[in-house]
Structure 1
Amino acid sequence: MAEDSGGLKSWTMHPLRARVIGEVHARPFRLVETPRVVLHYAFTTTAEEAAADLAFLGELCRTHGEPAPDRDASLHQAKIMGGTLRWERHSEFTTYTFDVAPLAGRRPFAAFDHHPFGAGFKPPGKLLVAVRLDVVREEDVPESSGGPLAFFEEVWVSASMAVEGTALIATDFRADGDGRTRILIVDKGLHPRQSGALIQRLLEIETYRTFAVLGLPEAQRIAPDIAKIENRLLESVETLRQSQGLSQNRELLGELTGLSAELEAVTAASAFRFGASWAYHEIVQQRLDAIREDPYKGYSTWGAFLRRRTVPAMRTIRSIQTRQTDLATRLGRAGDLLRTRIDVELEEQNRDLLDSMNRRARLQLRLQQTVEGLSVAAVSYYIVGLIGYLFKGSKIFHVEVDPGILTAFAVPFVLAFVWWTVRRIRHHHEE
């Protein structure tokens, strides 16, 4: 059935659709023929360094007649110097991988200078991983010449069969005289696609296991800081048991708050490194599972060696993370306890203050009542005096009355009126 021309192509696409679909093919395996020499480097890079490196890579590609990478590319491959240069950008590092067929008859790990990492190469950042990986045929490493493991230190070598017995993989995880870690793959029937996938996974194991262990120096660096905060917290808790008074408790709360801020700064500074270490460690375990190792002549497998060497480092990281979490919890509990004590002391102070205010209010009420009584008498006295003067002046109206009698008669009425007026005024204010 023919597709409707007005259907899919005319629909509005999600802006991230192409990126999401292409993510599963972001770093595809390559077909690799045996024999092969592979050089792999990983550099830690900042955003600025990555941008500068992308510009350098574009110039390098154009110099060799290859297209430059896109501005937002995370993977780019180019045919250079008879081989393939593979560039990858990750979140915190950049890798360069170059593979080429060696000269006929050359032994594994022989001197090799035909690569793009010479004098004109500009490292994008600080080098952390350097690998020399050789893929050879079984007949190229006969037992008569020492076998495939003769290129490694016997004490450190790890070797195993991989990909259902079609390849022997060996390494000693140590830097050679050139500063590179050596990895040897002996082809025992690998398909080129299997060979490409195995090479990529082994390089990823070496890269990610190195970046995973970056968390160990960070854990060792902050361990004394964690111990110092723990000791200061213990001292503060002992002081908390005996502290009395609001000022002392407030001072202790300030100290605990400072410890919490110090711990938070240490935790924030190490959170990314520890999280990245565990993510890289998980990737290493996934890649080890993917190569399907089997023991080889009693030698330690890659997985067994890395479990012995890297798992203790990861446990140290986990221990520091656990101590950080536990310390934060204990600081929070101590702070809550101290704040509760301060709140209780403040409530007691407020209660005492309210009692004092109530006592003052009662005294003021009594004083007000006293003043009210005196004011009634005083005002009544002045009014009665005015009335007396009024009665004394009645002669001008030719009225003969006794002022004393009339004044005495007016006194109770004046007292009652003044008392009633004062009560009205007080009730009005209370309302």
Structure 2
Amino acid sequence: MNQVNNSYGLDVHPLRDSLYAELHSRPFQVLPSPARVSYLAVILRPEQKKAEFEHFCALYQYFTGTPPEEDGACIEVDFGHCKIRRDKHLEFTSYIITHGQVDSSLGFFDQNALSCLPVDWLSAIPGAVIAAFHIAIEDARTIPEPDLALVKSHFEGMRLVGSRPQNGDAQVWTSFQLHSDGCGRFLIYNKNMSDSQLGRMVQRVIEIETYRLMALLALPMARKYNAELVAMDQELANTTASLSDATETLDEQALLGELIEMAAWVEATRAKTSFRFSATRAYHELVLKCLAELKEDEVSGHLTITEFMTRRLTPAVRTCNTAGNHLESLSTRIDRVSDMMRTQVEMSIQSQNQQLLTSMDRRSKIQLAMQHTVEGLSVAAISYYSVGLLKFLIEAVYDKGVSFDKSLVIGLSVPLVVGSVWFATRKIHKRFLLLAKAKEGG
């Protein structure tokens, strides 16, 4: 229903306001330098989503705030000592916790934003955490570039991936590994970025790390089913070979049973994997988009984030795509073999029907010959009884004094009676044939 809500008195589409709001539902953050950011991504089952929102509202009780009345796609709240942003996604809910009061006497990751939240609240978050990492942001606009040995010391000696995103306006270091606290780490030096630019770049880094983990969720599934698909391929090949072997006697019912079992397994596997494989492709595309937006330059001697993702993530996604394509191919091939099997069964049935019709035709001819024989015998029998009756009539006339040769008359009546009976039988036979043809034509 249209509504009037403007100074011109125009009829406005009821969805217009929500369409405008959609573009601004997830605004980029504005981050200062230095700052500490922690990130959590929690995968939720459908029945956990309401409990997760209630748990988020419970956080307001710790900091004497007023919780929101309704859930939303993005909720941002400033508790003074930290800011929390909660984003709802299709499969997970994310928390970005920002702490702007940095103690320079502590190490980059000795002070993190998760420490701003109650421990008992964190441990009770519904769902399963898929991504958890800390981001240390340092202001390098007035100081020289960091020493590599110093950077490496903050990552517990792990091999680093480094780049200069936004055409060198920042420097990003990470290991893409979990550290002793069970979280990942990113170290970002702001060289020449405003708070808004820094917020957008950090958001891209967060999305890259989150989406690459979500994309990899399908990899164990793909590896598991790839091994089973190889065995299923061989089984289908053996079935196809038995169909093409003319010298082998086929148990068609058993083969059809095997094909039904294979088709059922493939369809059940497709139902289990279709969403996950499709999600992997979608997350991979998002990762590639965010990588392109980083506009990276190299740090001498280190892989950039794009190079690292291209080498590690892309092959994993291809493995998932291969498993999905293999399932589709196997399903198609099973359908073709089933069609072949049905065709062969139909041909066998047609051959049996042909033999049955031939046998029925032979039996019909025999029955017709027997019918003609029976008709001949019937004419003889009817004629015999008719002559006997006629004999009684002739003798009665003779006994009344009519003079004639009784034997001659009886003898002459025999061919006349036989001819009459034969003629009447043929007339009846023809009449039935005409009635049968009339019914077939009708």
Q: TM-score, normalised by structure 1?
A: 0.88
Q: Determine the C-alpha separation between the residues in 2 that align with 1:148 and 1:135.
A: 13
Aligned alpha-carbon RMSD (Å): 2.8
Q: How big is the shift at 1:20? A: 4.3
Instruction: Provide closer, same or farther for how the CA distance between residues 388 and 169 of structure 1 changes in structure 2, counting only shifts above 3 A.
Output: same
> Would you say 1:35 and 2:34 are equivalent positions?
yes
Name the structure 2 match of 1:115: 116
> Would you say 1:190 and 2:171 are equivalent positions?
no
Any idea what SS the aligned residue of 1:177 has? Answer: coil
Q: Determine the C-alpha separation between the residues in 2 that align with 1:230 and 1:144.
A: 55
Which ranges of structure 1 fall in alignment gaps of 5 or more residues?
A: none
Q: Determine the C-alpha separation between the residues in 1 that align with 2:408 and 2:60.
A: 130
Q: How big is the shift at 1:380? A: 2.2
Name the structure 1 match of 2:99: 100
**CA displacement, residues 57-77 of structure 1 (integer Å, 9 cap, x when unaligned):** 233346642341524x22222
Instruction: Provide closer, same or farther for how the CA distance between residues 321 and 377 of structure 1 changes in structure 2, counting only shifts above 3 A.
Output: same
Instruction: Provide closer, same or farther for how the CA distance between residues 4 and 49 of structure 1 changes in structure 2, counting only shifts above 3 A.
Output: closer
Q: Is the 8 A contact 2:163 2:299 kept in 1?
A: yes
Instruction: Provide closer, same or farther for how the CA distance between residues 69 and 201 of structure 1 changes in structure 2, counting only shifts above 3 A.
Output: farther
Name the structure 2 match of 1:323: 326
Equivalent AA in structure 2 for residue 47 of structure 1: P
Name the structure 2 match of 1:125: 127
Instruction: Provide closer, same or farther for how the CA distance between residues 20 and 410 of structure 1 changes in structure 2, counting only shifts above 3 A.
Output: farther
Moved more, 311-320 or 383-392: 383-392
Which ranges of structure 2 fall in alignment gaps of 5 or more residues?
A: 1-5, 437-442
State the percentage of identical aligned residues. Answer: 30
Name the structure 1 match of 2:439: none
Q: Determine the C-alpha separation between the residues in 2 that align with 1:253 and 1:24.
A: 55
Name the structure 2 match of 1:74: 73
**CA displacement, residues 351-400 of structure 1 (integer Å, 9 cap, x when unaligned):** 21111111111111111111111112212222232232233334797766
Name the structure 1 match of 2:279: 276
Q: Determine the C-alpha separation between the residues in 2 that align with 1:70 and 1:183.
A: 33
- Number of paired residues? 424
Q: Determine the C-alpha separation between the residues in 1 that align with 2:326 and 2:379.
A: 77
Equivalent AA in structure 1 for residue 362 of structure 2: R
Moved more, 94-103 or 124-133: 94-103
Equivalent AA in structure 2 for residue 34 of structure 1: S
**CA displacement, residues 136-155 of structure 1 (integer Å, 9 cap, x when unaligned):** 11158864695545423565
Q: Is the 8 A contact 1:34 1:187 kept in 2?
A: yes
Name the structure 2 match of 1:65: 65
Instruction: Provide closer, same or farther for how the CA distance between residues 53 and 406 of structure 1 changes in structure 2, counting only shifts above 3 A.
Output: farther
Q: Is the 8 A contact 1:57 1:68 kept in 2?
A: no
Match of 1:157 among 156, 160, 169: 160
Name the structure 2 match of 1:380: 383
Q: Is the 8 A contact 1:215 1:274 kept in 2?
A: yes
Q: Determine the C-alpha separation between the residues in 2 that align with 1:137 and 1:130.
A: 23
Any idea what SS the aligned residue of 2:264 has? Answer: helix
Any idea what SS the aligned residue of 2:55 has? Answer: helix
Name the structure 2 match of 1:309: 312
Q: Is the 8 A contact 1:131 1:182 kept in 2?
A: yes
Any idea what SS the aligned residue of 1:120 has? Answer: helix
Q: Determine the C-alpha separation between the residues in 2 that align with 1:62 and 1:422.
A: 111
Q: How big is the shift at 1:332? A: 3.1
Q: Determine the C-alpha separation between the residues in 1 that align with 2:120 and 2:145.
A: 36
Instruction: Provide closer, same or farther for how the CA distance between residues 391 and 144 of structure 1 changes in structure 2, counting only shifts above 3 A.
Output: closer
Instruction: Provide closer, same or farther for how the CA distance between residues 144 and 225 of structure 1 changes in structure 2, counting only shifts above 3 A.
Output: closer
Q: Is the 8 A contact 1:165 1:294 kept in 2?
A: yes
Q: How big is the shift at 1:340? A: 2.8
Q: TM-score, normalised by structure 2?
A: 0.86
Any idea what SS the aligned residue of 1:182 has? Answer: strand
Q: How big is the shift at 1:298? A: 3.2
Name the structure 2 match of 1:240: 243
Q: How big is the shift at 1:405? A: 4.5
Q: Is the 8 A contact 1:246 1:345 kept in 2?
A: no
Match of 2:212 among 209, 217, 231: 209
Q: Is the 8 A contact 1:274 1:317 kept in 2?
A: yes
